[in-house]
Structure 1
């Protein structure tokens, strides 16, 4: 379902608005969750070997925390987007310009990775 959402948003030019840009990134985060956990889970279920080396666990935790941090930030940005659309409709395109939206997405992913790095250092 997430790939359909991403494809539709990318292909339809009418959906190139901040709300759909953030929705597309939320779909990417959801896909990251499954690609981080499902392969190892399937290996464990099919092989019966339920041990996991520390480095694999650390790497999986890093990407899981990174996706989690990005998701929380994207949900916050989506809430702010709706706030601006409702409370300041005449200034919406000025407040959330294309440049600002791309900057917010970059900050979301970079911040998620930095946050995940700090969590890994403390472990």
Structure 2
């Protein structure tokens, strides 16, 4: 049961931890969005071929995994990072969320809870609306 729970929860938990400090620091969120707009453009959606060119996004993901590692990855974090699986999945989803939505500035509680996948004490709740450029898609 523990493997099932950690296997399904790690990506969503990592995304929650990655998005939380960005909402607390909207200037960094804006920097990532600007880099995505520059590298990808506004005529298409981010895809996996774009990820190697989005260095700042990769830094955010690596720092998230360093500060808030999912329990399942504690023993194999280096192997997963070498394979690029965590960065690829999280990068694609996080980058798409940043590219596609305007996020309302909220103060996010960064307190850690107890559990198999290191959840937050208070789950992330944030308001967003689609960016104007997303109306084309």
Larger Rg: 1
Tell me whether the two structures share a fold, i.e. TM-score over 0.5.
no
TM-score w.r.t. the length of structure 1 is 0.31
Q: Which has the higher helix share?
A: 1
TM-score w.r.t. the length of structure 2 is 0.29
